Protein backbone atom coordinates (compact mmCIF):
# COMPACT_ATOMS: atom_id res chain seq x y z
CA UNK A 1 0.00 0.00 0.00
CA UNK A 2 2.80 2.40 0.89
CA UNK A 3 4.46 1.62 -2.45
CA UNK A 4 1.32 2.63 -4.35
CA UNK A 5 0.98 5.81 -2.31
CA UNK A 6 4.60 6.79 -2.97
CA UNK A 7 4.21 5.95 -6.65
CA UNK A 8 1.06 8.09 -6.85
CA UNK A 9 2.85 10.99 -5.13
CA UNK A 10 5.80 10.67 -7.49
CA UNK A 11 3.48 10.64 -10.52
CA UNK A 12 1.55 13.67 -9.22
CA UNK A 13 4.76 15.60 -8.65
CA UNK A 14 6.02 14.65 -12.10
CA UNK A 15 2.74 15.76 -13.68
CA UNK A 16 2.84 19.09 -11.87
CA UNK A 17 6.43 19.74 -12.88
CA UNK A 18 5.93 18.92 -16.54
CA UNK A 19 2.43 20.42 -16.67
CA UNK A 20 4.10 23.83 -16.45
CA UNK A 21 4.74 23.66 -20.20
CA UNK A 22 1.05 24.40 -20.84
CA UNK A 23 0.82 27.33 -18.44
CA UNK A 24 0.34 30.83 -19.80
CA UNK A 25 2.98 32.98 -18.11
CA UNK A 26 1.93 36.39 -19.28
CA UNK A 27 0.23 38.42 -21.93
CA UNK A 28 3.23 39.83 -23.77
CA UNK A 29 2.25 38.21 -27.07
CA UNK A 30 -1.00 38.76 -28.94
CA UNK A 31 -1.93 35.53 -30.75
CA UNK A 32 -4.46 37.44 -32.90
CA UNK A 33 -1.93 40.00 -34.05
CA UNK A 34 -1.03 40.35 -37.74
CA UNK A 35 2.74 39.75 -37.79
CA UNK A 36 3.35 41.55 -41.08
CA UNK A 37 1.27 44.55 -40.06
CA UNK A 38 3.06 44.78 -36.70
CA UNK A 39 6.44 44.66 -38.43
CA UNK A 40 5.38 47.25 -41.02
CA UNK A 41 4.30 49.68 -38.29
CA UNK A 42 7.54 49.05 -36.39
CA UNK A 43 9.61 49.66 -39.54
CA UNK A 44 7.91 53.03 -40.05
CA UNK A 45 8.70 53.98 -36.46
CA UNK A 46 12.29 52.77 -36.87
CA UNK A 47 12.80 54.89 -40.00
CA UNK A 48 11.41 57.96 -38.30
CA UNK A 49 13.59 57.56 -35.20
CA UNK A 50 16.87 56.05 -36.51
CA UNK A 51 16.34 52.77 -34.66
CA UNK A 52 16.27 49.10 -35.58
CA UNK A 53 13.33 46.76 -35.07
CA UNK A 54 13.80 43.99 -32.54
CA UNK A 55 11.44 41.06 -32.92
CA UNK A 56 11.14 38.80 -29.90
CA UNK A 57 9.71 35.58 -31.29
CA UNK A 58 7.99 33.33 -28.77
CA UNK A 59 4.67 33.07 -27.03
CA UNK A 60 2.76 33.50 -23.79
CA UNK A 61 3.22 29.74 -23.32
CA UNK A 62 7.00 30.27 -22.99
CA UNK A 63 8.34 30.94 -19.50
CA UNK A 64 11.73 32.10 -20.84
CA UNK A 65 10.06 34.56 -23.23
CA UNK A 66 8.18 36.27 -20.43
CA UNK A 67 11.21 36.07 -18.12
CA UNK A 68 13.46 37.84 -20.63
CA UNK A 69 11.02 40.70 -21.00
CA UNK A 70 10.60 40.93 -17.21
CA UNK A 71 14.38 41.16 -16.70
CA UNK A 72 14.66 43.97 -19.26
CA UNK A 73 11.68 45.90 -17.87
CA UNK A 74 13.00 45.67 -14.30
CA UNK A 75 16.44 47.04 -15.24
CA UNK A 76 16.62 50.77 -16.06
CA UNK A 77 19.81 50.41 -18.10
CA UNK A 78 18.40 47.60 -20.23
CA UNK A 79 15.07 49.34 -20.68
CA UNK A 80 16.85 52.49 -21.84
CA UNK A 81 19.11 50.58 -24.25
CA UNK A 82 16.11 48.81 -25.74
CA UNK A 83 13.93 51.89 -26.02
CA UNK A 84 16.58 54.19 -27.47
CA UNK A 85 17.89 51.75 -30.08
CA UNK A 86 15.03 49.44 -31.05
CA UNK A 87 11.35 49.36 -31.79
CA UNK A 88 10.34 46.27 -29.85
CA UNK A 89 7.81 43.82 -31.34
CA UNK A 90 6.75 40.63 -29.58
CA UNK A 91 5.97 38.15 -32.37
CA UNK A 92 3.72 35.26 -31.45
CA UNK A 93 4.69 31.81 -32.68
CA UNK A 94 2.14 29.01 -32.29
CA UNK A 95 0.44 26.15 -34.10
CA UNK A 96 -1.80 28.59 -36.00
CA UNK A 97 1.04 30.43 -37.74
CA UNK A 98 3.94 27.98 -37.69
CA UNK A 99 3.63 27.38 -41.44
CA UNK A 100 3.40 31.08 -42.34
CA UNK A 101 5.95 32.17 -44.95
CA UNK A 102 7.13 34.94 -42.61
CA UNK A 103 9.40 32.37 -40.93
CA UNK A 104 11.26 31.55 -44.14
CA UNK A 105 11.49 35.29 -44.90
CA UNK A 106 13.19 35.71 -41.50
CA UNK A 107 15.49 32.71 -42.15
CA UNK A 108 13.66 30.40 -39.73
CA UNK A 109 14.53 31.98 -36.38
CA UNK A 110 12.55 29.31 -34.51
CA UNK A 111 15.39 26.87 -35.17
CA UNK A 112 17.14 28.43 -32.17
CA UNK A 113 14.28 27.84 -29.72
CA UNK A 114 12.39 30.51 -27.82
CA UNK A 115 12.66 33.31 -27.29
CA UNK A 116 14.71 34.21 -30.29
CA UNK A 117 15.49 37.76 -31.36
CA UNK A 118 15.55 39.03 -34.92
CA UNK A 119 16.93 42.48 -35.60
CA UNK A 120 15.79 44.29 -38.73
CA UNK A 121 17.12 47.53 -40.15
CA UNK A 122 14.54 50.23 -40.99
CA UNK A 123 14.24 48.84 -44.52
CA UNK A 124 13.25 45.41 -43.20
CA UNK A 125 16.57 43.67 -43.88
CA UNK A 126 17.58 41.11 -41.29
CA UNK A 127 20.70 42.32 -39.54
CA UNK A 128 21.06 39.60 -36.91
CA UNK A 129 19.32 36.66 -35.27
CA UNK A 130 20.17 36.01 -31.62
CA UNK A 131 19.73 32.73 -29.77
CA UNK A 132 18.62 33.70 -26.26
CA UNK A 133 20.63 30.86 -24.69
CA UNK A 134 23.74 33.03 -25.09
CA UNK A 135 22.16 35.59 -22.76
CA UNK A 136 21.69 33.17 -19.89
CA UNK A 137 23.86 32.59 -16.86
CA UNK A 138 23.13 30.19 -14.02
CA UNK A 139 19.52 29.41 -15.05
CA UNK A 140 18.52 33.04 -15.53
CA UNK A 141 19.16 35.89 -17.91
CA UNK A 142 22.30 37.92 -17.25
CA UNK A 143 21.76 41.69 -17.48
CA UNK A 144 25.40 42.22 -18.51
CA UNK A 145 25.09 39.78 -21.40
CA UNK A 146 21.81 41.38 -22.48
CA UNK A 147 23.37 44.86 -22.35
CA UNK A 148 26.28 43.67 -24.48
CA UNK A 149 23.89 42.10 -26.99
CA UNK A 150 21.86 45.32 -27.22
CA UNK A 151 24.99 47.48 -27.58
CA UNK A 152 26.53 45.29 -30.30
CA UNK A 153 23.44 45.49 -32.50
CA UNK A 154 22.43 49.14 -32.25
CA UNK A 155 22.23 51.17 -35.46
CA UNK A 156 25.30 53.15 -34.34
CA UNK A 157 27.31 49.98 -33.67
CA UNK A 158 26.49 48.44 -37.04
CA UNK A 159 27.56 51.67 -38.75
CA UNK A 160 30.91 51.46 -36.95
CA UNK A 161 30.29 54.55 -34.84
CA UNK A 162 31.01 52.80 -31.56
CA UNK A 163 34.18 51.07 -32.71
CA UNK A 164 37.30 52.15 -30.85
CA UNK A 165 39.80 53.56 -33.30
Flag whether 15 is in a domain.
no
Flag whether 19 is in a domain.
no
Mean pLDDT on 23-28 = 69
Average pLDDT along the chain = 88
CA Rg value for the chain:
19
* Residue closest to 35 by CA, chosen among 62, 64, 58: 58
Flag whether 52 is in a domain.
yes
Flag whether 132 is in a domain.
yes
pLDDT at position 10, please? 42
Flag whether 28 is in a domain.
yes
The count of domains in the chain is 1
Mean pLDDT on 136-164 = 95
Q: Residue 164 — very low, low, confident or very high, per pLDDT cuts 50/70/90?
A: confident
Domain containing residue 57: 24-158
CATH number of the domain enclosing 46: 3.40.30.10
- Distance between CA 98 and CA 79 in Å, rounded? 29
* Residue closest to 54 by CA, chosen among 4, 14, 106: 106
Quick check: 13 pLDDT over 50? no
Higher pLDDT pick, 85 / 26: 85
Q: What is the SS3 assignment for 149? A: helix
Quick check: 86 pLDDT over 90? yes
Flag whether 6 is in a domain.
no
| Full strand arrangement of the beta sheet holding 126-131 | 86-92, 52-58, 116-120, 126-131
Quick check: 7 pLDDT over 50? no
Q: What is the SS3 assignment for 3? A: helix
Q: Residue 163 — very low, low, confident or very high, per pLDDT cuts 50/70/90?
A: confident
pLDDT at position 5, please? 42
Diameter of the chain measured on Cα atoms? 75
Amino acid sequence: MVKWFLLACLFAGHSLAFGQDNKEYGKLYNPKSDIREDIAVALEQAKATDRFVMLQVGGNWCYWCIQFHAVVEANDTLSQLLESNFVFVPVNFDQHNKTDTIWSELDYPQRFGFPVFVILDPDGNRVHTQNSAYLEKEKSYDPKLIATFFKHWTPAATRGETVRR
